[in-house]
């Protein structure tokens, strides 16, 4: 862990949404934060379609792994962002935690249909997450400039 503020993005399985958000926030926030993700009940893998749709926008998730939120209980987490309802309900308070946000997104892992139909859902959720987390990073940069 680094001296930069830790932003922890949580969902239940830590296989899709939290990794999409982690990848986007790392890409748009640069070196401003230590961005991590975890799950309340980790699936144990990062969904292959999540990796694929992020590659389409130049973000590599292939080195990510599904982690339990307990890995971060002793860390100085500055901000927790939950991206699904179950994680919001299961989210503990972290020592030193200053901010908490809940921004729910549909779970693309539950998409049905053929591969192209599933990819369309993953892309839609990726784009929603990209807009939300880009705006968040922009807001944090503006806030830092005012200080």
pLDDT of residue 137: 95
48 vs 90: CA distance, rounded Å: 26
DSSP 1: -
pLDDT of residue 98: 76
pLDDT of residue 144: 80
pLDDT of residue 1: 45
Residue entry with tokens 């209980």: 73
* 6-133: CATH architecture: 3-Layer(aba) Sandwich (3.40)
**Segments making up each domain of the chain, as ranges:** 6-133
Catalytic residues: 11, 84, 91
Average pLDDT per block of 10 residues along the chain, 147 residues long? 83 94 94 92 96 98 94 89 72 69 92 97 98 95 83
């Amino acid at each position: 862990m680094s001296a930069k503020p830790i932003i922890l993005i949580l969902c239940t399985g830590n296989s899709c949404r939290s990794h999409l958000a982690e990848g986007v926030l790392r890409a748009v926030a640069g070196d401003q934060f230590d961005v991590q993700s975890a799950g309340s009940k980790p699936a144990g893998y990062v969904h292959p379609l999540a990796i694929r749709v992020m590659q389409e926008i130049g973000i590599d998730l292939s080195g990510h792994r599904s982690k339990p939120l307990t890995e971060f209980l002793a860390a100085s987490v500055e901000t927790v962002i939950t991206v699904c309802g179950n994680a919001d309900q299961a989210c503990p308070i972290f020592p030193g935690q200053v901010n908490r946000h809940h921004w729910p997104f549909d779970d693309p892992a539950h998409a049905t249909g053929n591969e192209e139909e599933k990819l369309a859902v993953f892309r839609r959720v990726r784009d929603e997450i990209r807009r939300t987390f880009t705006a968040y990073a922009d807001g944090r940069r503006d806030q830092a400039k005012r200080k």
